[in-house]
Amino acid sequence: MVYFIIIAVVLLVLIFANAKIVPQAHEYVIELLGKYKTTWSAGFHVKLPLIERIARRVTLKEQVLDSPPQPVITKDNVTMQIDTVIYYAVYDSKLFAYGAVNPISALSNLAATTLRNIVGELELDGTLTSRDTINAKMTSILDEATDKWGIKVNRVELKNIIPPAEIQNAMEKQMKAERDRRETLLQAEGHKAAAITRAEGDKQAMILAAEGERDARIARAEGEARAIFLSKKAEADGLRELKNAAADEAVLALKKYEALVAMADGKAAKLIIPSDAVELVKRSVVFSETAGIGATTDPAPDAPPPPPAPDPCCDDE
């Protein structure tokens, strides 16, 4: 009975000693007598004691490989320091365990050589402006090369591109000159726009002033025309009324005389009056009394009285 208890205790100890729990997003590579047997996924597992062992613990999470800066020579013989960041994940634990002795080191060295090959085909300006192109090419090449290692390269990013100091100084000077040029162009365009705006404003002001003067002249001309029209209409209406009233010759002569007086306008002037009008005026008492004929000139002075007759008595002496 004691032996059975001892055997049971030993078996329990062996079971607990060989029981393993694989965490989530991890896999264990199991070997039987030095040969690959299976891959444990997440969960509870028990291996055979002494003959089975865990050859490799592999994480399936995405990992980051930060490569140190390395010198890279461009097509135009400029040496730059470039470091990369590689995002990868293991998708096959068996290939990752048996594909390469050190897959991560192999991936780092492969990234360095690939970067040198790609940048060596570009010039300095192309390297600085073609980050996306370099990233895409490196991702494609590394992903294809690491398939046999069980690694999936998701993306590659150029972290830093550090050109030589003299190149940096030249680039800064070029950038400053470009900014100065843009500033000059912007100022010139601003002055040009302001001058155009002022000229357009002056033009609009002159146009509006001319239109105002034109409208004022038109209004004055229309007013004068209206006044003349009303004056002529009033004269026509007066003549029509005289005609309708059947005025006699005396009244007509009076109107003629009033017209002559209006023509003279109170100023010294010679007026030539037809003889028939004078005769008609003389015959018309009403016209003479109304117009005051004879009052316009002073009457002739009286004749001086005759001298007294001589006195016979005194003159003889």
The range of the structural domain enclosing residue 206 comes to 165-230
The residue that leads in pLDDT, 90 or 129, is: 90
Same domain, 170 and 155: no
pLDDT value at residue 247: 56
The CA-atom distances, in angstroms, between 99 and each of 35, 103, 104, 148, 151 are 15, 8, 11, 6, 10
Same domain, 169 and 182: yes
**Average pLDDT over the chain, rounded to whole?**
79
Given a cut of 60, whether residue 231 has pLDDT beyond it is yes
Same domain, 30 and 77: no
Same domain, 73 and 126: yes
- Is 63 in contact with 89 (CB distance < 8 Å)? yes
Which residue, 13, 36, 59, sits at the end of a domain? Answer: 59
Share of residues in the chain with pLDDT > 70 (%):
76
Given a cut of 60, whether residue 112 has pLDDT beyond it is yes
On the 0-12 / 13-18 / 19+ scale of CB atoms within 10 A, 277 is: middle
Q: Which of 35-44, 146-155, 212-221, 236-245 has the lowest mean pLDDT?
A: 236-245
Residue 179 in any domain: the answer is yes
pTM: 0.53
pLDDT value at residue 155: 92
pLDDT value at residue 176: 84
